[in-house]
């Protein structure tokens, strides 16, 4: 049972890391987009 959990963890770890990286990139994109749109509004 524990070995199965270890294997499942090893399988899901890269997926979770990828999800967290995607979230980080998305938040950065939204943040920079908000800055750009606010600059646009100032013009």
Q: Residue 42: its pLDDT value, please?
A: 61
Q: Residue 17: its pLDDT value, please?
A: 93
Q: What is the pLDDT of residues 1-43, one digit of tens each?
A: 678 888 888 888 999 999 999 999 999 999 998 888 887 766 5
Residue 28 is assigned to a structural domain of this protein: yes
Residue 12 is assigned to a structural domain of this protein: yes
User: In terms of residue numbers, what domain contains 15?
Assistant: 1-38
For the chain, what is the domain count?
1
Output the CA–CA distances (angstroms, integers) from residue 26 to 1, 7, 13, 17, 31, in the order listed: 37, 29, 20, 14, 8
Q: Residue 6: its pLDDT value, please?
A: 87
């Amino acid at each position: 049972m524990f070995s199965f959990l270890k294997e499942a963890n090893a399988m899901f770890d890269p997926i979770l890391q990828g999800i967290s990286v995607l979230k980080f990139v998305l938040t950065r994109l939204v943040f920079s987009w908000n800055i750009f749109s606010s600059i646009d509004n100032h013009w």
